[in-house]
Amino acid sequence: MTKYIFVTGGVVSGLGKGITTASLGRLLKARGLKVAAQKLDPYINIDAGTMSPYQHGEVFVTEDGAETDLDLGHYERFIDEDLNQYSNLTTGKVYWNVLNKERRGEYLGSTVQVIPHITNEIKEFVYRVGKKTNADVVITEIGGTTGDIESQPFIEAVRQISLEIGEENSLFIHVTLVPFLQGSREHKTKPTQHSVKELQGMGITPDIIVLRCNEPLEFSIFRKISMFCNVKPDCVIENITLPDLYEAPLMLEKSGFSHIVCRMLGLNVPEPDLAEWTEMVRHIKARRFHVEIGLVGKYVELHDAYLSVSEALRHAGFFYNAYIHIHWIDSEKITEENTKEVLKGLDGILVPGGFGYRGTEGMILAAKYAREEEIPYFGICLGMQIAVIEFARNVAGIKDAGSREFDQHCPSKVIDFMPGQSSQIAKGGTLRLGAYPCVIRPETTMERCYKTTQISERHRHRYEFNNAFYDRLQQSGLTFSGFSPDGTLVETIELSKHPFYVGVQYHPEFKSRPNKPHPLFKGFVETALSHNGGGV
């Protein structure tokens, strides 16, 4: 029978529940178990797709095209399992489903209520991910903080699940903050005690308490929390802030984290094989080269808006024994007068995805600078479209080149709607989402990176390259190196004579792993290392 683990958080938000969940997933997988992870988010949006990156960070896209919370990126990077549409549920989606069922008459005239209808919808979703993936263990993280009014239906639903499947098949982990008061030079347990009391008032007593802290805790702290929160002494585990988040599984396992979980769930499995992960962490700590990468975007004030991109850069850095120093450059602040000053000293320039016109002229200047100065350039989604527009204007002589997204009245829309797509439909929210195949042209930078001509990558965009400009741009020197299998959609472009100048319509960052860096990020970082003479 599938075992279910529920991870809640207390005291404050942003404690690292996602990293704790992801780390436990890695540890259990290292014991030979098939693990699935999911996130229950209390916000009323249907999904993360329409949310501002400034409010919620990046939107992580799964293979099947679900627009989800960024924590799913942590799950995939740690557990190395592709997640799906059943891995993220919001309050909005719950109510949407329930109200649609009510309109169809599926409740046979019943008065629709939070209990049982809303909680049943949540329970069905939690159970479904275990059935769909045939997982041995499902780890479910509940977003928000204990006591939030929005989280209450989710807490009630998982309480009911525990009752239905039995205590031997369910486990509750509560992640809380243990603050350190500088004035008295001591850690305080009272916030944790109150958080656990709040959770107990909802019918849930945590089996394991994970204590988030910046410094190692005294033994008395563990003893006190064990006594007042009614958990076994070895079930109080510290989660110390680390120099690198990929050390978290190893640190947690030093406290016997996965051993305790397996003991409490009755899982008779081997000790975790963490040899590869341990070697990776050792390799991370031994880095000696340095690479300066300029990330030119419009949401750089919140680094989480580009979380998967920055992590994918770091993964490639791990592979090449290099520290990746990201320069977060606001594209709105780049002008023709200051371009060289802002971008000087960079070993590579990356323009990531985004939506809307704001900041795009600065991105175009960055793409031009990279092209003319032969600095490695990597354009992702919008970054590819920017490269096409810059090339069309400044090389192919199409001075009024632009994108329909930026200006509907642009005379030369080198970036436009998908073929056959009307403006009304496009504005309705139809993005190309999820995994699509791509055929790579031989003897290109793309083929050298991937070492194959058949790939599949995840997309999240609405606009495409306008094939009406194909011949003119190709004759001017732009290489179209990747296409949809039927040849109708341009997926990738490059400048073959440039050390590394690549643009892709898709988001390769979503498939990068710390122990398996993505081929394009490897190619980009490798070229950037060469650009600075080895990076030492």
Annotated ligand binding at 354? The verdict is yes
User: Is 150 known to sit in a ligand binding site?
Assistant: yes
- Is 385 annotated to bind a ligand? Reply is yes
Whether residue 382 is annotated as binding a ligand: the answer is yes
Q: How far apart are CA 13 and CA 145, in angstroms?
A: 6
- Strands 348-351 and 377-380: what pairing? parallel
189 is in an annotated binding site: yes
Is 13 annotated among the ligand-binding residues?
A: yes
Q: Nearest to residue 240, comparing CAs of 23, 513, 6, 7?
A: 23
Positions marked active-site = 381, 507, 509
482 is in an annotated binding site: no
Encoded tokens for 14: 């942003």
Query: Are residues 192 and 211 in contact, defined by beta-carbon separation less than 8 angstroms?
Result: yes
How far is CA 300 from its chain centroid? 16
Residue 383 marked in a binding site: yes
Q: Rounded to an integer, what distance in angstroms lies between the CA atom of residue 53 and that of residue 302?
A: 8
CA R_g for the chain:
25
Encode 394-433: b = buried (16+ Cβ within 10 Å), e = exposed: bebebeebbbbbbeeebebbbbbbbeeeeeeebeeeebbb
Asked whether residue 19 is marked as a ligand-binding residue, the answer is: yes
- 145 annotated as ligand-binding: no
73 is in an annotated binding site: no
Residue 340: count of CB within 10 angstroms of its CB: 11
376 is in an annotated binding site: no
User: Would you tell me the crossing angle of helices 307-319 and 519-531 to the nearest 10 degrees?
Assistant: 70
Asked if residue 15 belongs to a known ligand binding site, the reply is yes
**Rounded to an integer, what distance in angstroms lies between the CA atom of residue 444 and that of residue 436?**
20
CA–CA dist 426, 411 (Å, integer): 19
- Candidates 262, 241, 236; CA nearest to 251 is 241
Answer yes or no: is 16 a known binding residue. yes
E-assigned strands of 135-207?
Answer: 137-142, 170-177, 180-181, 186-187
The string of DSSP letters for 299-340 reads -TTSGGGGHHHHHHHHHHHHHTTEEEEEEEEEGGG--TTTHH
Find the helix packing angle between 275-285 and 307-319, rounded to 10°: 90
**Other Cβ atoms closer than 10 A to 124:** 12
Cβ–Cβ < 8 Å for 47, 26: no
447 marked among binding-site residues: no
Residue found under tokens 């903080």: 145
Does the annotation list 224 as a binding residue? yes
234 assigned ligand-binding residue:
no
285 is known to lie in a ligand binding site:
no
Sign of CA dihedral 342, 348, 354, 355: positive
Annotated ligand binding at 266? The verdict is no
Annotated binding-site residue? 148:
yes
Q: Is 421 annotated as a binding residue?
A: no
Q: Are strands 501-504 and 208-213 parallel, antiparallel or unpaired?
A: unpaired
Q: What whole-number distance in Å separates Cα of residue 309 and Cα of residue 242?
A: 21
193 is in an annotated binding site: yes
Residues in the annotated binding site for Mg(2+): 71, 141
Residues in the annotated binding site for CTP: 13, 148-150, 188-193, 224
Residues in the annotated binding site for L-glutamine: 54, 354, 382-385, 405, 462
Residues in the annotated binding site for UTP: 13, 188-193, 224
Residues in the annotated binding site: 13-19, 54, 71, 141, 148-150, 188-193, 224, 242, 354, 382-385, 405, 462
